[in-house]
Amino acid sequence: MSASEPLRVLFLCSGNYYRSRFAEELFNHLAPAAGLNYRADSAGLWPDCHTHNVGPMSPHTILGLRERGVPLPAVLRAPRDVSDADLRGAALTIALKDSEHRPFVESRFPSWLERVEFWHVDDVGDAPPSVALPLIERSVRELLERLSTKAR
């Protein structure tokens, strides 16, 4: 990796449809203003996660990003499964819900468990987007501040 190539933050959730996609897009929108040479990506921990979703991105994620002035890509990619290569290429890996995602990481990627940071953001069935998305936003902003402090 060259010095100018951005470091990668990898956000994980179950289906790569709602929480991780919101975190990815928000992080990538805010990181340049923070002066950080980081780029986020996201993936799902469910095997064949794209089969669990009804489209490329949750309508809650799309609305939440629009409400925050975050532009969406012209074409929304399909949800995708996390791979060993994703984990190897990430400077920081964050799973959005400890109790939900730790078992996936333990069973599918046990050697990576100690390198994953776990947040505590419920999926849409357990917390409405009006609760979950502001929590992700606050966590992303705190992460950007932490990375900015570390870079100084």
The domain that holds 142 is classified in CATH as 3.40.50.2300
Q: What is the dihedral of CA 78, 84, 89, 95, to 10 degrees?
A: 70
Residue 1 lies in a domain: no
Question: Residue 115 domain-assigned?
Answer: yes
Q: What is the pLDDT of residue 3?
A: 59
For 114, residues 6+ apart whose C-beta sits below 8 A from its C-beta are none
pTM for the structure as a whole: 0.95
Structure token digits, residue 115: 């390198």
Residue 2 located in a structural domain: no
**Domain total for the chain?**
1
Structure tokens at 136: 């992700």
Q: Is 102 part of any domain?
A: yes
CA distance to 12, 25, 85, 146, per residue, from 32 (Å)? 21, 12, 25, 15
Q: Which regions of 29-152 does DSSP assign to beta strands (E)?
A: 38-44, 92-95, 116-118
Are 108 and 12 spatial neighbours (Cβ–Cβ below 8 Å)? no
Write out the chain's pLDDT in tens, 152 residues: 445 899 999 999 999 999 999 999 999 999 999 999 999 999 999 999 888 888 999 999 999 999 999 999 999 999 999 999 999 999 999 999 999 999 999 999 999 999 999 999 999 999 999 999 999 999 999 999 999 988 76
Q: Does residue 105 lie in a domain region?
A: yes
Structural domain span for residue 104? 7-151
